[in-house]
Structure 1
């Protein structure tokens, strides 16, 4: 999940970053509104945290820009305790609002709540991100992560992993994998499949000799284990 954090106070940015570092989030930092808009336009952002008062463009202007193209959750941060900013922000389409100083633990809980709510009512979005244990498939960007590490995969390796991650527990024969991934007739070339599976195991498993994820079903084919 990609989070945009637009906040001109470095101490607050560092505090939030520290607490989000334990989660499966990639945080994009912006110290002003202009940078926040630039990040939003050039990245697939799942949730935005916006400080109300920032140089160049304030949080309200950034929110207006976001709402032109997206309905992602937006959480406002403000130092003002009255309801003025809250009413204005919610009126422009913000989803939540926190007054400084705030608990970073509470912020993290609100982030999770907003993401759950967003994906509940936007099921098509949820299908773009598929998690299986420490593996994350991002279908929109055609990337697969092992924890926070982007895996370096060739096109065939990605297609094989995409197929198996989307269908955990399902056994695929070598013939079926070849026909789906290579889009060609299978003539019993087991070596091609075996080499690709070996390379994939080296990249996703902690111990490729004792695989936890990608299992061989002897005499049949392969499957990806269901792992929470």
Structure 2
């Protein structure tokens, strides 16, 4: 499931806040501050994008021009944002091929709901969670609770191994606090001297053939926790 969003907005604070909010909700976000930087980012990532968010008012062009350009090149869903209360902007945007429209100022939760709705219509989001998580040739089946290695062999996992791996692949690229991982896999907090999670991570690295001294998949972030650094794709069946 691709969840990469390109946002163009000329306000730096708005861009930063929106990026932080969407990344907290497991979206990958690219940013642009004007039409020129948007065009550069769009051409670079258009094959990977699942959604574009366009601010109408930009210093060097406007969101309508960008929307028209997108529609000539791609069917990527578009949500437009405007500070204008005039319905004309909304009508023009929709006529140009925008999928949704939201006025400024807006509640980030409403924008998130609009994003999810557009993604569902486009087949990006699904009401059911993914069944398969694939990374580095491995495939984790969350229904059968099995892990298959690149050679097609089933990797033996304990229940704790499975819970830990499932949480990691659901949050790729995020720095995950040790206490959060312990709560998700064991249902309890870690004591200050409790190294059980570290032992569990070490065991899972062995299952994944991930070098414990220089791990490429489950990396230690000193003083913070762990991060699953592999690229993860998903499928529902």
Give the TM-score normalised by the residue count of structure 1: 0.59
Deviations 1:145-191 (A, max 9, x none): xxxxxxxxxxxxx22x1xx247862868989627xxxxxxxxxxxxx
Unpaired runs of at least 5, structure 2: 154-205, 220-237
User: Which structure 2 residues correspond to residues 132-143 of structure 1 after superposition, within 5 A?
Assistant: 137=134
1:30 aligns with 2:29: no
Unaligned runs of 5+ in 1: 138-143, 145-157, 179-194, 207-228
Which runs of structure 2 are paired with 1:189-208 in the superposition (5 Å)? 197-199=208-210
Give the whole-Å Cα distance in 1 for the aligned partners of 2:29 and 2:121.
20
Pick aligned residue for 1:169 from 124, 144, 154: 144
- Structure 2 residue aligned with 1:155: none
Instruction: Map Cα deviations across residues 70-101 of structure 1 (whole Å, 9 max, x no partner).
Output: 21211111010011110100000001111111
- Decide whether aligned partners of structure 1 residues 65 and 165 sit closer, same or farther in structure 2, where only a CA change above 3 A counts: farther
Matches of 1:96 and 1:53, distance apart in 2: 16
Q: Which has the higher contact order (CA 8 A, sep 6+)?
A: 2
Whether the 8 Å contact between 1:7 and 1:50 is mirrored in structure 2 is yes
Q: Does 1:85 align with 2:89?
A: yes
CA displacement, residues 174-224 of structure 1 (integer Å, 9 cap, x when unaligned): 89627xxxxxxxxxxxxxxxx884328965569xxxxxxxxxxxxxxxxxx
- Cα distance change of structure 1 residues 104 and 172 upon mapping to structure 2, 3 Å threshold: closer
Bigger fraction of residues in helix: 1
Structure-1 separation of matches of 2:98 and 2:54 = 10
Aligned residue number for residue 17 of structure 1: 19
In 2, distance between residues paired with 1:89 and 1:112?
A: 19
Instruction: Name the CA shift for 1:170/1:53 in 2 (closer, same or farther; >3 Å).
Output: same
Q: TM-score, normalised by structure 2?
A: 0.57
Given that 1:6 and 1:32 are in contact with CA atoms closer than 8 Å, whether structure 2 keeps it comes out as yes
SS in 2 for 1:198: coil
1:63 aligns with 2:62: no
How large is the Cα RMSD of the aligned pairs? 3.5
**Distance verdict in 2 for CA 1:83–1:166, change over 3 Å:** same
Shift of 1:109: 1.0
1:15–1:104 Cα contact (<8 Å) kept: no
Q: Following superposition of structure 1 onto structure 2, how do residues 37-116 of structure 1 map, counting pairs within 5 Å?
A: 37-43=39-45, 44-116=48-120
CA contact (8 A) 2:51 2:76 kept: yes
Counterpart-to-counterpart distance in 2, 1:21 and 1:175 = 30
TM-fit CA distance, 1:37: 1.4
